[in-house]
Structure formats: structure tokens, C-alpha cells
Structure 1
Amino acid sequence: MNHIDIAKEIAHHHSQLQVGRPIHWDDTFNKQDEQYPEITQAVLRACRRLGFIEDDAQVIASAWESQMQRHASFDPLTWPHRSEDFGIRAFPRDDAFAPCPHHLGLYVVVPDAQWVDRLTQAGVGTVQLRFKSEDKQAITEQIKWAIKAVQGTSTLLFINDFWSLAIEHGAYGVHLGQEDMEEAPLEKIKSAGLRLGLSTHGYAEMLKADAHSPSYMALGAVFPTTLKRMKTAPQGLGRLGAYVQLMKGYPLVAIGGIDEQKIPAVLKTGVRSIAMVRAITESNQPEMVCKKLMAMMYQLR
């Protein structure tokens, strides 16, 4: 078979990873691919057909080459899923951030400290304060209030973005996006003993996050969401399952467009922590909804 026939076989067998409408096979060709062996060209074209962004396609092609070398043969049916094929180091790691529970359960992202207070009293296990403001005094007050709200409880509090204030006031952890990860002094956060969560949106970003050995990774967006403008398309359940299989050494949090009806399908991928925003904050009875969702997740785990 030539490489286009191999590419078609790969795409056919792994159609559960498709995101968006498949592009025409002619559009999967890239002149630069000609420098690679036939198999690598096939993998790259299959990945583009399946809707993977170019950075992810390159990562997958490299992992497939490693997998092929280990087995001394090429198998289009076996999607790369072993950590060593992606250059992911084994656990435990001496340079890792402080650990957090492997199962973070229901993980609610809230806009202010009053919400942290409410959900802590409702028994929610993990809360992230995502307070948006340019007023440093207001930010400081919100972080201090949120930290005080969880003191003496089992609720774990992560502060979104504001790592300096999180360190200063003794938060449990910090959550950063990919852009913030590149700018924040991660070693300072680590040496302060804070946990670190990192957002990821595909294979390339997972590997970038893994290089820092964070406490957990967020995987998304799983479904369409209007809460944040995303640079990548929704990943879907097929890809989420592949990510969970690859990054199983970490606590993993699924995020993006997840509501009560989608929880069973999300949990079937193997992920054990689910982040929710509007399903809670736009509810008329958020405490009751949280308790219902936590009970559901416990029964389905």
C-alpha cells in the first residue's frame, strides 16, 4: 500500500477521534511531509483528516514511529497510548509538584469568594476561584476570603492565575492556562509547596504540561462551551478517552460543556474528576445540584 491508502486505513479505524467535518484527502497533503518516511506521511495525513491541529499531528506521528520501533512492525489498528512512546517519564518523580488526590471528584469553577463559601458549606470537594478583575485590592480580598472559607474543611481551593497572592496567603494550589504557564515562575510556586493544575487542549499541550510535572491536568474542552473563547475545537469523548489512557499517571479533570446528562458518558472514558461551571452557578439551587452530582459521580465511579 502507498501512504495515502495507509492514511485512509488509520482514519477509518480511529474514526472515534474525529473532530469536526473530515477535510478532503487532497487537503491533508503538506509539501514538507516528503522529508519523512511513508508511514510518517500516512500518520500525518490521517491525523489532519481526523481534525487534529498540526502540533498534535506531529506529536502523534512521532509517538507512532516510536511504537513501530518497539514492535518492529507497523499496526494501523493500534493508536499510540503508551507513555514511553510520547517521551513521558515514569512516576514517581523527584521534581514533581506537591501531590493532590487522584480523584478530585466534582470540581466547581466559581467567579468569586462568596461562591467558594457557599460550595464549601455544601461539601464540594474541589473549588477553583476564577475571579476576573484589574483591581488588585479586590483580588486580594477575594483570595483571602476564599482561603478563609475553606479553612478547617475538606474542600481543596485552587486560585486561577494569581499565583503570587496564592503563595502570599497560603492557598492550597494554583491553576494556570498554557499562556500563564509560560510566564509564571513555576519553580517559585513549587518551592512554596502549592499544588499546580494546568489546562491542556490536546497532545502537544499535554506534553508541555507534563514537562513541569504538575499536580493535575485539566483536559478540554470536551464539549462546546461559550464560557471561554477556545483556540481549539471541542475534543469529544473519543479523544478524552485517549488522553486519559495516556496520562493516567496524573489526576485528570475533564472540563468544558459538561452538564448532568453528560456525566455518565464522561466517566466511562476513565476520568474521575469533572469540572463544571454554569451547571452550578446558573442553577437556582446550586447546593442541591452539587450534592446530587456528587452522589451520581460516587455511584458511577
Structure 2
Amino acid sequence: MNIDLTESIRTYFIMGSNNSSRDPVQIVEEALKGGISLFQFREKGANAKVGQEKKNLAQQLQKLCRDYSVPFIVNDDISLAIEIGADGVHVGQDDESVAMIKRKCPNDFIIGVSATNSIEAVQALSDGADYIGVGPIYTTSTKEDAKTPIGLEGIAQIRSLVGDMPIVAIGGIKLEHVKGILNAGANGVSVITAISHADSPEIAARHLTRKL
């Protein structure tokens, strides 16, 4: 798959089986129909699947993404990402280093890194990450260990330091926030509950895609 990251991270959906009471496969398919441009499989936290169950779900969702020509990224689990031939991985500050991941993974693997401040963002750029997930922008309840929100000012500051590196914003983002986030310098937004908890994930994804 030929991936333009600046475009792919525009409507970035993150989800695991514990982010909704509904069938995750159905939700992701609806989101793909609605136009999401990248999907991150984040299977962690309370009641998350592990082992073979986790792998089976990952492969189901990966196949769906391939059917829609949408990149499939695995959160944190580098071994799983390599095993199933994902398009890349996304890691946090406490996960494996970019240098270590590059040694393990194919050359064309996408490596995304979370950054909660400008120091971490500059380090991700220096380490050779392909894009940065910056945030949280607003208060979020999805991540139990979420840091203090950085707001639009945080996005603007990070953009001023990392040049044209692709940036995707995350954390408590709703439809009405999109314009301000893009104006602050992000290339796209990543959401979890805005789609996974929607009455119609397809409509929610479509509205988000149109706004972007």
C-alpha cells in the first residue's frame, strides 16, 4: 500500500474491543464506510483481549482495513504488528524506543510516537518517527493515565518546533474542535469514543471526514 501519511492521519480512528459494548468488527466496518483514513488497533486496559483472541481480532480488523485501502496500525504490540504484517505501530513514551523498533521492523513500517509536550515531540522527530500523536488536547476519560491537556497552544508550539512532520491531535476531541485544531497546525485528528460510542459510527465518521 502506497501511504501518504499527511493524508492518512487526517481522520484517524483508534479502537479496541473494550471501547464499545457493540461488536468491534461491525463498528470498524461502519467507520471505514464513513471514510476514516487510518485505523489504530489499541487493545489494552480493562477487559481487553489477550493472546490468540487478540490476534484473531487484529487480523479481522486488518482485513477490513485492507478491503478499504486504509492503513492498519497496532498500538504498542510490536511483535503482533510484525507477525500479522501490519502497516506500522504506534508507541508511547514508556514503550520501546524508535531505534529499537526500526531494528526489528521492515523498512517501510510506519512508526508513530505519542508526545505530551514539545520536548517529547522534538525527541520523536530526532529519533526518526514518521508522525507524532500530540495530546491530550482536551480532557479525556478514555486513557486512565492521560496527562494534562495541552490545548491548541500546545499544538501550535509543537508545530513550530517540528517543521512539516505529520502531526495528529488526540484527546477529548469533538466535531466542533476540528477547525481550531487544524488552524493550530495539526494535519488531522484521532478519536476513539466520538466514533465508537456514536449511535451510527458510519455517520459520525462521515461528519468528521467532511469537517476535515
Within the candidate set 80, 83, 92, 1:177 is matched to: 92
Residues 1:116 and 2:28 aligned together: yes
The residue number in structure 2 matching 1:213 is 128
State the shift of 1:174 in Å. Answer: 0.7
Residue in 1 that maps onto 2:59: 144
Give the number of the structure with larger relative contact order, counting CA–CA contacts within 8 Å between residues 6 or more apart.
2
TM-score by length of 1: 0.61
> Percent identity of the aligned residues?
25
Q: Give the equivalent residue in structure 2 for 1:235.
A: 150
Does the CA contact (< 8 Å) of 1:99 and 1:195 recur in 2?
Answer: no
Q: Gaps (5+ residues) in structure 1?
A: 1-97
Whether the 8 Å contact between 2:118 and 2:161 is mirrored in structure 1 is no
RMSD value over aligned CA atoms? 2.2
Runs of 4+ in 1 over 6 A off after TM superposition: none
CA apart distance, 1:201: 0.4
Show the counterpart of 1:106. 11
Query: Given the alignment, which residue of 127, 130, 134 partners 2:39?
Result: 127
Map of 1:276 onto structure 2 = 191
Following the alignment from structure 1 to structure 2, what is the Cα–Cα distance between the partners of residues 203 and 268? 18
Contact 2:116–2:134 (8 Å) recurs in 1 = yes
Aligned residues: 200
Q: Quick one: distance in 1 between partners of 2:66 and 2:3?
A: 19
> 1:162 is matched with which residue?
77
For residues 111-157 of structure 1, give each alpha carbon's deviation from its aligned partner in whole angstroms, at most 9, with x where no partner exists: 14513333223331111111123621111101111211122422111
Residues 146-197 of structure 1 deviation map (CA, whole Å, 9 limit, x = unaligned): 2111224221111111111111111111111111134983123443531111
**AA in 1 matched with 2:37:** G
What's the offset of the Cα at 1:286?
Answer: 1.2
Deviation at 1:225, TM superposition (A): 0.9
Report the structure number with the largest CA radius of gyration: 1
5+ residue gaps, structure 2, are: 18-23
Residues 1-301 of structure 1: matches in 2 within 5 Å?
A: 100-103=4-7, 104-112=9-17, 114=25, 115-132=27-44, 133=48, 135-182=50-97, 185-191=100-106, 193-230=108-145, 232-297=147-212
1:233-288 alpha-carbon deviations (Å, 9 max, x no partner): 11011121111222233111011111011111111112121011111111101101
> How does the TM-score come out when normalised to structure 2?
0.85
Code of the residue aligned with 1:136 in structure 2: it is G
Cα distance in 1 for residues equivalent to 2:103 and 2:132? 19
Structure 2 SS opposite 1:243: helix
Question: Structure 1 181/204 Cα, relative in aligned 2: closer, same or farther at 3 Å?
Answer: farther
